[in-house]
Amino acid sequence: MIKVSVSKVLSEQINAEYYSAYLYLTMSAYADRAGFKGIANWLFVQSQEEMAHGTHIYQHLLERGEMPSFAEIKLPPITFDSIKAVFEQVLAHEQHVTSLLDNIATIAMSEKDHATYNFILWYVNEQIEEEATADELLNKIKMIGDNTALLFNLDAELATRVFNDPFATQA
């Protein structure tokens, strides 16, 4: 049985994951309208990944006999100053998500909820890759600077990303 404090932070994380999905969708739309279809694709795939995370946490709560609680998802920003600004926000957002997940792990351990602690460790470890990828892309964009040709090369590279549901084999 999950304690109220653990159920509460897991439900809050579902909301945070869905907010992340909306945020990446708005970023994807911005990149698309700016003519960067590959960057838009990368951000769209990121949105799909966040939706999968939210659904996975939702399913964990149900499997543990809990009723997830839902809150209003705040409106993400819909305008951005540049592709660089988008990826600055991607990195900052992923760092924020890391802090949320670390908090869940801390609460799960303090409540001696080893099942949730083990469950959330997948996300804690996943965040290492999420932050590293965001940092790498931001650094590339900073190095590119105003070189449009190089930015379009990066755009072409990011167009190849496809969504692979990390939970597809779990039913």
**What is the phi/psi pair of residue 119, to 5°?**
-60, -45
Q: What's the pTM value of the predicted model, to 2 decimals?
A: 0.94
Residue 171 lies in a domain: no
What percentage of the chain has pLDDT greater than the value 90? 95
Q: Please state the domain count of the chain.
A: 1
Alpha-helical (H) ranges within 64-113 are: 83-110
Q: Decide if 122 is inside a domain.
A: yes
CATH no. for residue 153?
Answer: 1.20.1260.10
Report whether 48 contacts 162 (CB < 8 A).
Answer: no
Where does 34-146 have alpha helices with state H? 37-63, 83-110, 114-144
Angle between helices 114-144 and 83-110 (to 10 degrees): 160
Nearest to 101 by CA among 57, 47, 165, 163: 57
Q: Domain range holding 32?
A: 4-158
**Is 165 domain-assigned?**
no
Tokens 């499997």, located at residue:
63
Whole-number Cα distances in Å, 154 to 34, 83, 110, 116, 143 = 14, 11, 44, 38, 11
**CA 37, CA 8: separation in Å to the nearest integer?**
38
Inside any domain, residue 167: no
- Judged against a pLDDT cut of 90, whether residue 1 lies above it is answered with no
Residue-averaged pLDDT of the chain: 96
pLDDT at residue 163, as a whole number: 95
What pLDDT digit, counting tens, does each position of 77-113 carry? 999 999 999 999 999 999 999 999 999 999 999 999 9
Q: Give the pair of three-digit tokens for residue 42.
A: 């990368």
75 in a structural domain: yes
**Averaged pLDDT for residues 24-33:** 98
Is it the case that residue 53 has pLDDT exceeding 80? Answer: yes
pLDDT band with cut points at 50, 70 and 90 for residue 170: low
